Chains A and B, each alone.
Chain A
Amino acid sequence: MYRVLIVEDQRMTRESLENLIRQSGRYSLADSISNAALAEMCCMRSPADLVLMDVCTENDESGFDATQKLKAHFPATKVVIVTSMLDWGYLARAREVGADSIWFKDVGGEELLSVMDRTMAGQSVYPDKTPEVKVGCASSCEFSAAEIRVLRLLVDGMTYREMAEALGVTTDCVKAHISSMLSKTGYTSKTKLAAVVTSKKLIVNGF
């Protein structure tokens, strides 16, 4: 049986995952913690075969950072990142830190077990893209990478000039990206655009 470490800060979700592991018949529970920063210590004590890693954990510790550390010291341990947020950057970030797989938390237990099985079989399970979400008249897939980079700074309340400086482009370029996004979504205000992408969790900065 493969030993699984669960990293999840929500008690109910964590216990539900624990039940899923215990009843799976092919996985056993190595440990269950709420703070991603402690995952490395848990694996030092007794390495897990697979880690189910949440993205935003207790004390705002990042599951991505913890995965990077784990993979550096325990390359044989498989890491499946689970998230309920759809941030565009998460798939790329998961690849960057060496996560074996990433999947969405809201799926049923069987689907998650199947992702775990495929990961243990050596597959890297990533969704092709983040689920499509409507932003005004546009679909979340219609935004370009450059537009998303601008949007990420916009939701942090930056001015045109600050965004241009942070991205190393001109303010006209930033304005053109915002104007393009407003035209796609049909919104008339960039504040509304920022508020909608934040509330739909397409942009979650800080992890």
Chain B
Amino acid sequence: MRLGRKRGLCRSAVREALDNLPSGVCFFDCRGVVTLCNRQMYRLVYALTGRDLQSLYEFRAMLNSDPVSGVRDGSVFVLADGSAWRFSEAVVTDAGGAVYTQALASDVSELYRRQEELRRDNRALEETAQRLRRLSANVVAVTREEEILRMKMRVHDDIGRSLLATRQLLQQRRPTAELDLGAWKNAISLLRGDGGETGEKDAMAQLLEAAAGIGVTISTDGELPADRKAAYLLITAMRECATNAARHAGGTEMYVRICSGGGKATAVLTNNGAAPDGEIKEGGGLSSLRARIEAAGGAMRVVSSPAFELTVSVPLETEETLCTVY
């Protein structure tokens, strides 16, 4: 302003020049009082607060609250007319050493519009990525279905061939002893029980049977959680321990105490085998078990002395409380 006067510019010319700026500009003196403010800044502040700009205090209050009209998106204010503005502050000193606070409002409408587009595109990309992940996860299930279908087609072909051979045999009145009963039996046994996985043993029953096969009886105290994923992780820990008990400790009985509550299921596994010679070093089996448990958000603890004890905790998707009260 002083500079303006020195160069022969009158006050109104400076104001006119400022008013013609597309950006909003306002200067506050050291007491926070408006010294010079252009039309654009007045318009913006009025549009956002419903009041005229009086002081730096009001300006800062506006920046830290939601506008009465339009919306605030982080540091950007979007007016009702759709234009987007970013406000900033800087300290300036004039030639005479007087200190002013300069407030600036920059039109970021184009940038904001592009950012919005980018956000929209990113959301669309994330949805596509999710669909891809689902497709990738389903491919194993789809392959299983295809395998079953191919097997059924093969059985169908086999039955067709057997029918043809049997009809020829009967038409030619040859002895039925020549009939290939093996082919019929195969086809019938494959078709019998068709209807998915019914009749298959569950994972726990399979483990009990396999453990009994290597001479280890598993005694459980408490119920496996209903959460199938969590239950299977506990069964995985039991399988590893039963194998180790038989292989390294000569154990014949394994005891498993299961407790669910507080959003997790915990199993404590011990056995009647010999205690470990020293501190157990987690090798292939235990370390891959740990990796699985921890990848699922669970925890695992191995105690070597006075006897082997493994504690595994796995998170539950829904709250369950199944605990034996002692």
Contacts and interface: CB of A to CB of B under 8 A. Distances in A.
Interface in A31-49: 33-35, 37-38, 40-42, 44-46
Interface string A42-68: 101110000000001011100001000
A34 B144 CA distance: 13
Given A12-B190, A23-B182, A41 B129 contact: no
Contacts, number: 116
Contacts of A33: 206, 210
B119 to A, nearest CB: 14
A111 interface: no
Interface stretch (B35-43, B85-93, B235-243): B235-243
A41 B155 contact: no
Contacts of B199: 11
Given A33-B206, A42-B210, A65-B288, A12 B151 contact: yes
A45 B182 CA distance: 31
Nearest to A68: B284
What's the dominant secondary structure at chain A's contact region? helix
Interface residues of B, number: 48
Contacts of B147: 10, 13, 84, 105
A205 B134 CA distance: 12
Interface in A182-207: 191, 194-195, 198-199, 201, 203-206
Contacts of B213: 41-42, 44-46
A38 B128 contact: no
A195 B135 contact: yes
Contacts of A154: 132
Given A12-B155, A85-B143, A155-B136, A69 B148 contact: no
A33 B193 CA distance: 17
A146 to B, nearest CB: 20
Contacts of A38: 206-207, 210, 239
Contacts of A141: none
Nearest to A19: B186
A69 B285 contact: yes
A84 B151 contact: no
Interface of A: 9-13, 15-16, 19, 23, 33-35, 37-38, 40-42, 44-46, 56, 58-60, 65, 69, 72-73, 84-85, 105-106, 154-159, 191, 194-195, 198-199, 201, 203-206
